[in-house]
Amino acid sequence: MPPIPGSGLAKGLAVTLRTMTKRTVTAQYPDVQPELPPRTRGVIGLFEENCTVCMLCARECPDWCIYIDSHKETVPPAAPGGRERSRNVLDRFAIDFALCMYCGICIEVCPFDALFWSPEFEYAETDIHELTHERDKLREWMWTVPEPPALDPAAEEPKEIAAARKTADKLQAQEAQTQAAQEAQPTRTAEQEGQE
């Protein structure tokens, strides 16, 4: 059967009409920033105070794109008669995002919570070498990491927070003790002077 004249035009108009009535899904980036889920894998932030230079992340990274340099330092004993300890000091921590495949293994394996996902993604470069982010840049990303979701009201306090609170209370008590001792010192001196 020969095609009805004008049927192609009618079909085309029907498609146009159907599309016109649908909700638009086009993202107007970069004029409008996308609303990304908090667990978006954008870039990796380093909280280097937590890093013990255990090298696990670098060893487990399938792309070998984490570069860590460190040296050893001897720490004097905490108490007289104690033993000296040696600890690793971080010299370099860098991630090459030109190689990274955003698998998240490094974050998963870090036993000391030193690596985190940030949803930031606007770090395209024209020079590939610039995609190797050194420790300062990785630290800057850290401040863009979203807060973890709130705990269930009936949940147990996390061990890390309980331990941190215990240490803070201990430090506060020590400070109060030192302050009290300092305040008591001039009083004793004045009394001693009076006796003399």
Query: By C-beta, is 102 or 121 nearer to ligand SF4?
Result: 102
Residues contacting 66, CB < 8 A, separation 6+: 57, 58, 93, 94, 95, 96, 106
Pattern 151-190, binding to ligand SF4, x per CB under 6 A?
----------------------------------------
> For the CA atoms of 40, 46, 50, 56, what is the dihedral angle to 10 degrees?
80
65 annotated as ligand-binding: no
State which of positions 55-114 bind ligand SF4 (CB under 6 A): 55-57, 61-63, 65-66, 68, 95, 100-106, 110, 112, 114
Q: Quickly list DSSP for 40-60.
A: ---EEEE-GGG-----HHHHH
Q: Lay out the sheet containing 66-75: strands in order across.
A: 66-75, 85-96, 132-133
Go through the chain and tell me how many residues it has. Answer: 196
Smallest separation (angstroms) from ligand SF4 to the CB of 129: 17
Smallest separation (angstroms) from ligand SF4 to the CB of 131: 12
List the structure tokens of 92: 């370099």
Which residues are part of a known binding site for [4Fe-4S] cluster?
51, 54, 57, 61, 100, 103, 106, 110
Contact positions vs ligand SF4 (CB under 6 A):
51-57, 61-63, 65-66, 68, 95, 100-106, 110, 112, 114-115
